[in-house]
Structure 1
Amino acid sequence: MTTAKEKSAIQERFKERMDEEELLNCMRCGFCLPSCPTYIESGFQESHSPRGRIALMKAVVDGVIEPDEDVERSLELCLGCRACEPVCPSGVNYGRLLEEARDIIQQNKKHPVPVRMLRSAVFKGLFPHQNRVRALTGMLGIYQRSGLQRAVRKSGILRMLPDHLAKMESVLPKVPDLKRLKNRPNRLPPIGRRKKRAAFFSGCLMDTLFLDTNMATIKLLQLSGCEIIIPETQACCGALHGHSGEKELAVQLAKRNIQAFENADADYIVTNAGGCGAFLKEYGHLLKDDPDWRERAKSFTAKLRDFSSVLLELDFEQKSLELPRQIVTYQDSCHLRNVMKTAAEPRRLLRSIKGIEFKEMKHADSCCGSAGIYNIVESDMSMKILDSKMEAAKATEAATIVTANPGCLLQMQLGIERAGLANQVRAVHLADLLLEAMTETN
């Protein structure tokens, strides 16, 4: 329960910090409504639409309403997928408004002690420290390899968890052993003639839980003629912090990453995770008021590319790619599409693979319901969105669902489990499928 004192402080910060010009840019036209998953799945509640949420923010700024639990709930339920932005005729930067509002609320209300401890452990104690992420992931690997996972599943303990969490445990990828996690190389030569130098953003979970996908991405870039540099001092992108009302921590991580990549002297800064890439792309906005970092942030974002864009630029689609005959469909990463503006490139790469029939999924550009940790903290809405997504996926009759973000990948794997399709359908990252197509021909 937010106290009167906290509400007053939140309202004052809204007046000081919210971009009123951006709020006024919203014409209330409603073009955003059909693109908003929470508006649709909530039964078309206006307060759960982008237009409705902007109206609530503006009303708080104007003092028309208090920033009460209903306002906070509306903002919490937003996926932050930003599907409303490409369809907005006024070009409203909704995602920036949402993150600013969430940060104001989180920084001006007092959480219960358990919540404060959990937020501190996750946002301050874990994700800014890659060695700790690696250690935690290593513990998951021990759980998987030691026989403990088998014993836990056999014991029935998982049945005490909500169904989606129990199934999520079953779709987690096999974690590489700790030695392999620690010994991932930081420099790799091109395979063949050197064309470009790429500095690779390795990420937190991507460089641990999805290390094989990172290595597949790196191999594809090498095959395309890239020399690879992986700066050792890089950190978490800060997306989880920025989306969860921890803006100052996100700023600190942004500065660490900019500094880490400045000395790489690279043609590209490459990412293979749509969520990370989108937040990295926002560093220019995040640091726009800091005269010491503003231009450095712009230089960083100017070099940022998704790996699929780099592969196409280096003519990777001209290579011999082939897979056994199958139907393949693609689920967009919201942030890759809506923020990094990368949607055609993955599809072009998929269509370049011989043997597959590419079928477009209905509403492939709508969110799958993963949205960082949304599928954990807002499980009911997330599962409604996922179940709708799986109906669209099933309609394609695809044997393989491809995506380009780790959260989306796990969410689609969870959807496959929930739909009882584990023996018929798989979900894979685009990089893994492309390398598989290369392997099949060599």
Structure 2
Amino acid sequence: MTKRSSQIEIQQAFDQRLDRDKLLQCMRCGFCLPTCPTYIASGYKESHSPRGRIALMKAVADGEKKPDEDFYRTIETCLDCRACEAVCPSGVEYGELIEEAKQILFEYHKESRQEKIIRSMTVRGLFPHPGRLNFVADFTSFYQRSGLQKLAHGLRIMNLFPTSLQTMEAVLPNVHAYKKPLANAAYQPLIPAVKKYRVAFFEGCLMGSMFQHVNSTSKKLLELAGCEVISPKNQICCGALADHSGEKDLARKMAQKNIEIFETMDVDFIVNNAGGCEAELIEYPRLLKDDPDWLPRAEAFSAKVKDLAAILVQADFTKLPLSLPTTRITYQDSCHQLNVVNVAKEPRALLQHVQGVELVEMEERVSCCGSAGIYNMVEPEAANEILDIKMQKITAIPELQYIITANPGCFMQMNLGVHQAGIENKVQVLSLSDFLMLAVDYSQK
């Protein structure tokens, strides 16, 4: 794994930097076990559960265990989905512990060649730079619409690439379809005479490039609900991927840039339509807690962050008459939208408001799909095991037509799951915004 001196440095860092009170707060009750995707996918290995990982972190901090390769793999294979936090009776802040552990290992542990390439391409080289993301989106659109993608698959060219890149290519959204304009540009606000709220829209990295159409649709829905929507220029990625990968310094810089941009906006809310992004935006104070100059600015920023579904419900979008032909759907919760932002009722209220729609909850709906940022690229085998468990629940729903999501990672991972299950001709994955716009279009015909 690493040199002995590095193991000593890791042990010292765990001893000095992990919060002892939070480590000792875990009572080992086991409430977290049924909610942990890696614990279940591993065949119920204690070391792959939240309480097992906490015990290992404490053992390393106490010098009772060496931070060997097995320990590194145990920490790195955590999805950081935070499902354990949502059910923990002791209120253990597992997310903070696992992210600090990942940061320490990022600083001291030598990355594998594959990890270094993927991190360089994504966390450091792509997501912090909107221009590069837009270039990739344009290239992806050309790759898809020109026939190159079909050719590459027909000639099995993708088989020459590493599994991580094959996974990345397989989960790409249909970008060229998202570049089409909205079907109806003549929508009127629900209550034109009353401006409900003035909101700033957080575009995000993937949402602002690969899923441009979803962002456009989301803004149109806000306008339908009577909101005035602005989209500040020069905003960048929220920093979630860097934060969850242990690259805290990069995440802090990205947070500071976004705070600087949005704090000048005279708005009621900062609205986002991606569960992972909004969880990071809400947690900017945690990220900047050690900086007395930035902490109050981060707190003021995060206090305005609002989930798209939540603001639509608050703005009485459900008073708009909506309908579709008889349609059976299920909703895939974003882990961070559910476990950090605590938004679950609002998306369902919007979906159930559409006449003709039957929302069928999948069994154990709170489980992760295996996307988790770049997890499905750096841990493809573990991600596929978790996805297989999720797809077993989805394929058990008879006559299902749509899987609705509110996060780009979930969208791509569920697309992969639908493809691997061979049900792409029966089941379509759609964003919450696009599905609601389908209902708007149908209702206004």
| CA-CA distance at 1:62 after TM superposition | 1.1
Q: Superposed, which structure 2 residues align to 1:322-361 within 5 Å?
A: 322-361=323-362
Contact 1:198/1:227 (<8 A) preserved = yes
In 2, Cα distance between equivalents of 1:180 and 1:256 = 31
1:437 maps to which of 418, 429, 439: 439
**Change in CA separation of 1:87 and 1:132 when aligned onto 2, cut-off 3 Å:** same
Look up the equivalent residue of 1:130 and give its one-letter code: P
Contact 1:220/1:431 (<8 A) preserved = yes
In 2, Cα distance between equivalents of 1:178 and 1:351 = 25
Residue 186 of structure 1 corresponds to none
In 2, Cα distance between equivalents of 1:429 and 1:164 = 24
When the two structures are aligned, how many residues end up with a matched partner?
436
Q: Superposed, which structure 2 residues align to 1:245-324 within 5 Å?
A: 245-324=246-325
Q: Superposed, which structure 2 residues align to 1:3-402 within 5 Å?
A: 3-111=3-111, 115-116=115-116, 118-160=118-160, 166=166, 169=169, 172-176=172-176, 192=192, 193-397=194-398, 398-402=400-404
In 1, Cα distance between equivalents of 2:114 and 2:391 = 35
SS in 2 for 1:245: coil
In 2, Cα distance between equivalents of 1:426 and 1:167 = 19
What TM-score results when the alignment is normalised by the length of structure 1? 0.94
Superposition misfits of 4+ residues, deviation over 6 angstroms: 162-165, 177-181
Residue 184 of structure 1 corresponds to none
After TM superposition, the structure 1 stretch with the greater mean CA deviation from structure 2, 378-387 or 405-414, is 378-387
**Change in CA separation of 1:247 and 1:161 when aligned onto 2, cut-off 3 Å:** same
Look up the equivalent residue of 1:199 and give its one-letter code: A
Cα displacement string for residues 177-210 of structure 1 (whole angstroms, at most 9, x for unaligned residues): 99999xxxxxxx9672321111111001101111
| CA-CA distance at 1:77 after TM superposition | 1.1
Cα displacement string for residues 376-433 of structure 1 (whole angstroms, at most 9, x for unaligned residues): 2212221121112112112222211111111111111111111111111111111110
Residue 425 of structure 2 corresponds to 423
Cα displacement string for residues 22-81 of structure 1 (whole angstroms, at most 9, x for unaligned residues): 111111111101111111111111100000000011111111112111111101111111
Contact 1:168/1:414 (<8 A) preserved = no
Contact 2:130/2:236 (<8 A) preserved = yes
**Change in CA separation of 1:395 and 1:165 when aligned onto 2, cut-off 3 Å:** farther
Contact 1:229/1:264 (<8 A) preserved = no
**Change in CA separation of 1:371 and 1:20 when aligned onto 2, cut-off 3 Å:** same
Contact 2:167/2:376 (<8 A) preserved = no
Contact 1:167/1:417 (<8 A) preserved = no
**Change in CA separation of 1:122 and 1:395 when aligned onto 2, cut-off 3 Å:** closer
Contact 2:167/2:377 (<8 A) preserved = no
Cα displacement string for residues 260-280 of structure 1 (whole angstroms, at most 9, x for unaligned residues): 110111101111000111111
1:408 maps to which of 402, 410, 413: 410
In 1, Cα distance between equivalents of 2:164 and 2:401 = 22
**Change in CA separation of 1:128 and 1:366 when aligned onto 2, cut-off 3 Å:** same
| CA-CA distance at 1:116 after TM superposition | 4.2
After TM superposition, the structure 1 stretch with the greater mean CA deviation from structure 2, 158-167 or 142-151, is 158-167
| CA-CA distance at 1:176 after TM superposition | 4.3
SS in 2 for 1:326: strand
What TM-score results when the alignment is normalised by the length of structure 2? 0.93
| CA-CA distance at 1:441 after TM superposition | 0.7
Cα displacement string for residues 295-354 of structure 1 (whole angstroms, at most 9, x for unaligned residues): 111111111111000000001011111111021111111000000000111111111010
In 2, Cα distance between equivalents of 1:408 and 1:112 = 26
| CA-CA distance at 1:154 after TM superposition | 2.4
Look up the equivalent residue of 1:22 and give its one-letter code: K
Look up the equivalent residue of 1:295 and give its one-letter code: P
Contact 2:27/2:90 (<8 A) preserved = yes
Residue 185 of structure 1 corresponds to none
After TM superposition, the structure 1 stretch with the greater mean CA deviation from structure 2, 153-162 or 142-151, is 153-162
SS in 1 for 2:403: strand
Cα displacement string for residues 133-159 of structure 1 (whole angstroms, at most 9, x for unaligned residues): 111222212212233223222222234
SS in 2 for 1:356: strand
| CA-CA distance at 1:374 after TM superposition | 1.3
Contact 1:190/1:228 (<8 A) preserved = no
SS in 2 for 1:255: helix
Look up the equivalent residue of 1:330 and give its one-letter code: Y
Look up the equivalent residue of 1:106 and give its one-letter code: F
Q: Give the percent of matched residue pairs that are identical in Structure 1 and Structure 2.
A: 51
Look up the equivalent residue of 2:395 and give its one-letter code: K
Residue 185 of structure 2 corresponds to none
